[in-house]
Amino acid sequence: MKLFSRILLTLSFLVLVHAAFSQAKRKVEDLSDEEISTFFERAQSSGMTEAQLEKAAKAQGYTSADIAKMRSRLTQIGDTKTKEKTTTSKSKTSSKRTVSGKLSTKKGAKNTDEEDTEDVSMEEEEMVDSTLLPKKKIYGANLFNNKKLNFEPDLRIATPVNYTLGPDDELNIDIFGEVMDNYTVTVSPEGTVKILNLSPIYVNGLNVEAASARIVSRLRQLYQGLNRPGSGSSAIITLGNVRSIKVTLVGEVENPGSYTISSLATVFNALYLAGGPNENGSYRSIRVIRNNKVVRTLDLYDFLLKADQKDNIQLKDQDIIRVGDFDSHVELAGEVRRPMVFEAVKGETLKDILRYAGGFTDKAYTYSLNVRRNTSRELKLLNITQDEVATFQPQNGDSISVGKIIERYENRVTVSGAVFRPGVFAIENGLTTVKELIKRAEGPRENAFLNRATISRRKENYDPEMISFDLGKVLRGELADIALHREDSLTVYSLDSLREYQRISIFGEVNKPGIFEFRAGMKVADLILMAKGFKEAASYAKIELSRRVITHGVTDNMNQKIEVKTFDIDGSLNISNEGSQFELKPFDIISIRRSPNYEVQRGVSIEGMVNYPGRYAIKTDDQKISDLVFAAGGLKPEGFLDGAILYRDSTVVGVKLSEVLRNPNSTNNLLLMENDRLVIPRILETVKLTGGVQNPISIAFQAGNSLQDYLDGAGGYTEYADKKNVYVKAPNGISTKRRRFLFIRKNPKVYPGSEIVVPEFPTNMKKGMTTAEAVGLSSALVSVALTLTTLINNLTK
């Protein structure tokens, strides 16, 4: 009755809420489980009676069938939530073995709501505390906090021969051979299994192997000679679904209590279900108590460090796992591989703790370790040297900090510059002075400047210092050798580094002009060879050499800064030639001129309606357009002279070819230039109209038609047409604009192939005033006129 009351209450509340937000009634099937659950929780506090709720539901159009569907949905949701709260894990294997791992409810256990409330408050307290002191990471805690790990026992292994049977274990008996049969039996609470037509067989406390022998012996009453040679029939007994056992976890674990787990479970399985040791729990002393006796003590560090599971024994029913308090916690911070909190047991030293932390990092300062210790009144600082690490025994609460080495060397010196092996060296026996360092660097190079070398050094107060000395005298033993200090940097300068880079240049008619490195004894011919020789256009006469005049301010003639020499040279670069043998100096510049009579072939092309179109050479500098037309064999009959266009450097040059051919002396008869292209088209018989016309179109040319005739043929002007600036683009590219003198308008002539272009005003630009604007302007002018009239009348009076 109570459940039905809740169902009706929920249904009515759902109807009332739904009616408030929607005009149409929704079906019960369209509601999600979340909506039903939310309405159910809210409906509990509505205070309506069952009759009122049922009446309200029917008033919204819900039938008795809808109420029944709602009742079924609520029942399913309630069952699902109950299973989620009571079941921790459940799995099935191919052998039908299942494992259970749920916390058994005890009389003193808290209910779910209380646990949730307490968890929230504890989380808030931890958040407040963490702002003051960050929570330290305990070594081994991640083993139980990692949700991706699974410590459930493997149920798909072969039947363990040493497995001890007990109540609720399931056995599969398979008989094959001449006789085929199968039995699935379960061990009863009395410890027996029952097979049809046989008396109960007691197997409690036996392992699988012993139980199998006993069952087979009893089965021989039904199957003679079973499992005996020559009988023709055999039996195999395997473990099916294993029983569940109860173990209890007490002490410092995250979730203490009794757990129902698989009889194949080990200590690790139980610890994982309970969340492992808490922050006060020990990872080094976990005891398994059976029949009031400690049967095994587990140290998790053996598993974490060596993967040793010798103490991870299989649990039995009513076993107790006790996690005691930790003995001492020691924190390692800084340059160790695993900086965290470690648990130390009695007798362990700092060396053992460092082993748990994975040892030092590569940059750890191991000469001395700082230990912060809590005393009864205040903090205490200890310094542990390398020799004391193996004997120092940490105490609970010790915090050991491992620093980082200083980024500098205690015995490093550097040599750079003009030595054969520059680099970094160590101050050691046999390398303590400048002379020994130069020897270790395999001596100075041939271009070394030995008159002066420098040592960059830091004083005791770390101020920079430079020491200069004559390196040559030190190496010859004429000066005392200089002792080196750590971080000294010796620099041996080269002659090349003390002077400007010496170069020479060659430009002009050579195959590879540019700048080259100067070499003593270099001649003019040598530089020309380095430049890959002369070009065909090179002139062997008037070769120019410009040279710097360097006086260093010791001469009175300060005006002459550049010396220029001009000479001839033999094109074959003979050694006997005086010009070829002219010796160069650093920074000289050679210029090879072009021969005055050298000319590269130039060409022009003619296309279109000529007899021989193609490319033609420019023979002389005074060759003109008319010469090109005559060279191409003249025009064809259909050639259109007025449409000829000359292209020069991608630019259209307007020419009047008909005038050029009539009068070769015309100014339109231009001189030809390289790569000019003259195009003579076929005669065009249309006139094209573009721009601000109603119908942009091409119209057939009619002799005698005026510009306006063609505009009328295109439908006239558009609204935004610029009538004053209409122009005609002739076929040869020359444009002519419409002109006006006083009241006489002169239109340009239209030829076949012309294009009439009507410019347009921008569409957002006003052409004139609207009617309203004109009326407004007129009214303003009238008002101004009346005002002026009145003012004049007053002045005359």
- Range from 311-320, 639-648, 777-786 carrying the lowest mean pLDDT: 777-786
Tokens of 47: 């205070």
Task: Report the CATH architecture of 503-592.
Answer: Roll (3.10)
Answer with the residue of higher pLDDT: 531 or 89: 531
Task: Give the Cα separation of 719 and 758 in Å (integer).
Answer: 12
Mean pLDDT for the stretch of residues 151-161:
63
Mean pLDDT is highest, among 96-105, 522-531, 777-786, for 522-531
Q: How many CB atoms lie within 10 A of CB 455?
A: 20
Q: What angle do CA 28, 32, 37 make, to 5 degrees?
A: 95
pLDDT above 60: residue 118: no
Tokens of 392: 């120092």
- Range from 116-125, 140-149, 221-230, 498-507 carrying the lowest mean pLDDT: 116-125
Cβ atoms of 312 and 267 within 8 Å: the answer is yes
Cβ atoms of 453 and 492 within 8 Å: the answer is yes
Task: Report the CATH architecture of 124-152+244-325.
Answer: Roll (3.10)
What is residue 776's predicted lDDT score, i.e. its pLDDT? Answer: 73
141 closest CA partner among 310, 45, 283, 29: 283
pLDDT above 70: residue 604: yes
Task: Give the Cα separation of 98 and 79 in Å (integer).
Answer: 22
pLDDT above 90: residue 617: yes
Cβ atoms of 356 and 305 within 8 Å: the answer is yes
What is residue 68's predicted lDDT score, i.e. its pLDDT? Answer: 61
What is residue 767's predicted lDDT score, i.e. its pLDDT? Answer: 55
What are the φ/ψ torsions at residue 457 (nearest 5 degrees)?
Answer: -140, 155
The segment(s) of the chain belonging to CATH 3.10.560.10 are 124-152+244-325, 328-402, 412-498, 503-592, 603-680
pLDDT above 80: residue 706: yes
Task: Give the Cα separation of 711 and 755 in Å (integer).
Answer: 11
Under the banding of pLDDT at 50, 70 and 90, the label for residue 793 is confident
Task: Give the Cα separation of 641 and 683 in Å (integer).
Answer: 8
Mean pLDDT for the stretch of residues 568-592:
87
pLDDT above 60: residue 694: yes
Cβ atoms of 53 and 9 within 8 Å: the answer is yes
What is residue 263's predicted lDDT score, i.e. its pLDDT? Answer: 82
Answer with the residue of higher pLDDT: 460 or 769: 460
Task: Report the CATH architecture of 328-402.
Answer: Roll (3.10)
pLDDT above 70: residue 67: no
- What is 412-498's CATH topology? Outer membrane lipoprotein wza fold like (3.10.560)
Task: Read off the pTM.
Answer: 0.46
Torsion of CA 351, 354, 356, 362, to 10 degrees: -140
Cβ atoms of 283 and 311 within 8 Å: the answer is no
Exposed/middle/buried for residue 662 (C-beta within 10 Å: 0-12, 13-18, 19+): exposed
For the chain, the residue count is: 797
Domain 170-239 class in CATH: alpha beta
What is residue 378's predicted lDDT score, i.e. its pLDDT? Answer: 93
Answer with the residue of higher pLDDT: 132 or 746: 746
Q: Counting runs of H as helices and runs of E as strands, what totals does the chain give?
A: 17, 40
What is residue 242's predicted lDDT score, i.e. its pLDDT? Answer: 79
Mean pLDDT for the stretch of residues 394-422:
92
pLDDT above 80: residue 3: no
Torsion of CA 27, 29, 32, 35, to 10 degrees: 40
CATH homologous superfamily, domain 603-680: Outer membrane lipoprotein wza domain like (3.10.560.10)
Q: What strands lie across the sheet with 293-298, from one edge to the other? A: 102-103, 257-262, 244-251, 320-325, 281-290, 293-298
What b-and-e string marks burial along 159-187, b requiring 16 or more CB atoms within 10 Å of the CB? beeebbbbeebbbbbebeeeeeeebebeb
What are the φ/ψ torsions at residue 611 (nearest 5 degrees)?
Answer: -70, -35
Q: How many CB atoms lie within 10 A of CB 786?
A: 10
319 closest CA partner among 281, 273, 277, 267: 267
- Range from 71-85, 114-128, 230-244 carrying the lowest mean pLDDT: 114-128
Mean pLDDT for the stretch of residues 634-643:
87
